[in-house]
Amino acid sequence: MEVTTGHPRRWGILGVLVFSLLAVVLDNTILNVAMKTIADKTVGLGATQSELEWAINSYTLVFAGLLFTFGVIGDRTGRKRMLFIGMALFGLASLASAYSQDPMQLILARAAMGIGGAAIMPATLAIISNVFPPAERGKAIGVWAGGVGIAVAIGPITGGLLIEHFWWGSVFLVNVPIVVISMILIATIVPESRDPKPSRLDPVGVVLSIIGLVAVVYGIIRGGELATVASAEVLVPTLFGLAVLGVFVWWERRIDHPVFDVRSFVDARFSTAIGLMGIMFFAMMGGMFFLTFYLQIVLGFTPIQAGALMIPFAAAQLIFAPLSQRVNERFGAKLSAGVSMGVVTLVLASYAFLDQNTPIPLIEVIFFVQGAAMANIMPPATTAIMESLPREKAGVGSAMSNTVRQVSGALGVAVLGSVLSSSYRGGIAPALDGLPAGVQHAAGESIMATMGVVQQLGERGQALVQPAFHAFIEGMHITAAVSAVIALIGLAVVVRWMPGKPRAAKHAERREPVLSSSSG
């Protein structure tokens, strides 16, 4: 039933929901700063580059795979109950992550965190829609999105502070008090709600999607480890994963309650907007992966300094995201998204020119420009998604865009991480000649692995430092160029298919602005 007056405590409820999301969003931005420490054999877990990629992607793939299903289960059994259970799972998994004894335990614990995150995210938006009347819903979702933006902004600096003063597990342990406080507030303040006509579950679709995506990502990451795509260890899982995803698409087309309605992609506006989001997150997540090592290893910044260097990116998001909807309405989706995607392409290309001597103010400007451009891509894409779907399917559009963003980010980390790994292995190989064969292979996997060998060899190992820096920078340049080409494809998609101002304006008259904000 549509709420017309709103819940009397709706703004307090919104505060609880924003606070509940803080741990989920904070965790992902904190992890980026902590990667170098987790990779260290002395103070961390000695995780390899591929294991770090899995620590990121195990969370993301599980989260994306279960997002729809947990949204439906919440509609059936109660959204407050689902939010409470999700917070409990997230807190317990955070505890397990903090005290992981090896990289595999961390990867599994992060996957468990993904289960909790998938239960939390759809429940928060569904509760907002339930307690706020249509007239206030847009403002409420704006506050919710602002809270997410603040968490993104404080994540890197918080991670840096924790790594500087405590052990690496503190970046996960910090979630526990947030979770405990959230659970108390949820139990006492948030009202229960259900959908009187919930959708049916699609367990087959969920299983097929997770198996297919994990197999493809495994093959891609393994290709980076081996520096070849011709090995059976790469081809077999990748082709198997693609085949399973093909079966997934066939299955989703034939049932009337799909977990991911692939039929929506027949609409050019919908598929263009979803594709744009996917391409942007693919390029962005892959790029962010190498920046952590560039700042902390090549430039030698501490975790807290590296976190502080990312503040311009987050600040630009906070400044420009609230203004982006106005820009979209003024100039139209095609122009605003096209210009922004063009700027993102140039920024990613600029990373191909960074080196050991790049001035820090220039790096800060690049981060700020990238944050500002990305803040102006989401609203046009979201608006196009919502305009291409019937009003009653706004929730479906939101969930689909979230799923595509998460999956694209995971694939970006896998693909671009593998490009970086392959390039680095080729670049550092000549400098490793003379070392035992086993040491050569281990030291060549990533710059962190090479630095570990440098520490073991003492004075003799110092001769490897500059070759390692050069090999990494060369690999970063190639990876940046690949990500820029991918972003350029996104720009071409916008120019060719994204709707322009007249169509956007026409549909805007018919729809409430809240629907165009709900998945941002």
Confidence band of 145 (pLDDT split at 50, 70, 90):
low
The residue with tokens 């609203």 is: 379
Which residue type sits at 489? I
35, 39, 491: which is closest to 288 by C-alpha? Answer: 35
Residue 395 confidence (pLDDT): 56
358, 368, 399, 357: which is closest to 382 by C-alpha? Answer: 399
CB 331 within 8 A of CB 323: no
State whether residue 129 is helix, strand or coil: helix
Confidence band of 516 (pLDDT split at 50, 70, 90):
very low
Summary mean pLDDT of the chain: 82
Which residue type sits at 95? L
Give the phi and the psi of residue 75 in degrees, each rounded to 5.
-60, -35
Query: How far lies 276's CA from each of 327, 377, 387, 489, 514, in Å?
Result: 18, 9, 15, 9, 21
CB 298 within 8 A of CB 466: no
Most confidently modeled range among 103-107, 119-123, 308-312, 383-387:
103-107
Does residue 510 carry a pLDDT above 50? no
pLDDT 10s digits, 88-130: 999 999 999 999 999 999 999 999 998 998 888 878 877 877 7
Does residue 520 carry a pLDDT above 50? no
The residue with tokens 């922004």 is: 340
Q: Per the structure block, which two tokens stand in for 127?
A: 């509760």
Residue 364 confidence (pLDDT): 94
Which residue type sits at 18? V
pLDDT 10s digits, 313-364: 878 877 887 777 778 778 887 888 889 999 999 999 999 999 999 999 999 9
Between 213-222, 433-442, 476-485, the lowest mean confidence (pLDDT) is in 433-442
Higher pLDDT, residue 144 or 395: 144
Percent of the residues in the chain that have a pLDDT greater than 90, as a whole number: 22
pLDDT 10s digits, 238-285: 999 999 999 999 998 888 888 777 888 888 778 888 888 888 888 877
Q: What angle do CA 470, 471, 475 make, to 5 degrees?
A: 115
Higher pLDDT, residue 470 or 52: 470
pLDDT 10s digits, 154-209: 777 788 888 888 888 998 998 999 999 999 999 999 888 877 776 777 889 888 98
Residue 416 confidence (pLDDT): 86
Percent of the residues in the chain that have a pLDDT greater than 70, as a whole number: 89
pLDDT 10s digits, 45-72: 888 878 888 888 888 888 877 877 887 7
Between 332-341, 360-369, 469-478, the lowest mean confidence (pLDDT) is in 332-341
Q: Residue 253 and residue 247: Cα distance in Å, rounded?
A: 10
Residue 179 confidence (pLDDT): 93
Q: Residue 105 and residue 115: Cα distance in Å, rounded?
A: 16
Quickly list H helices, 78-133.
Answer: 79-98, 103-131
**Alpha-carbon Rg for the chain in angstroms:** 23
Task: Tell me the mean pLDDT in the region 388-414.
Answer: 72
Does residue 503 carry a pLDDT above 60? no
pLDDT 10s digits, 23-32: 787 776 777 7
Q: Residue 501 and residue 506: Cα distance in Å, rounded?
A: 8
Higher pLDDT, residue 47 or 410: 47
Does residue 509 carry a pLDDT above 50? no
> Which are the contacts of 170, defined by CB distance < 8 A and separation ≥ 6?
98, 162, 163
Q: What is the pTM of this model?
A: 0.77
CB 177 within 8 A of CB 185: no
Q: Per the structure block, which two tokens stand in for 140?
A: 């409420």
Running DSSP on this structure, what letter comes out for residue 168?
T
CB 422 within 8 A of CB 227: yes
Q: Residue 186 and residue 9: Cα distance in Å, rounded?
A: 13
Confidence band of 515 (pLDDT split at 50, 70, 90):
very low
Which residue type sits at 169? G
Instruction: Please count the CA atoms within 13 angstroms of the CA of 501 that sit on its side-chain side.
Output: 9
Residue 390 confidence (pLDDT): 65
CB 451 within 8 A of CB 436: no
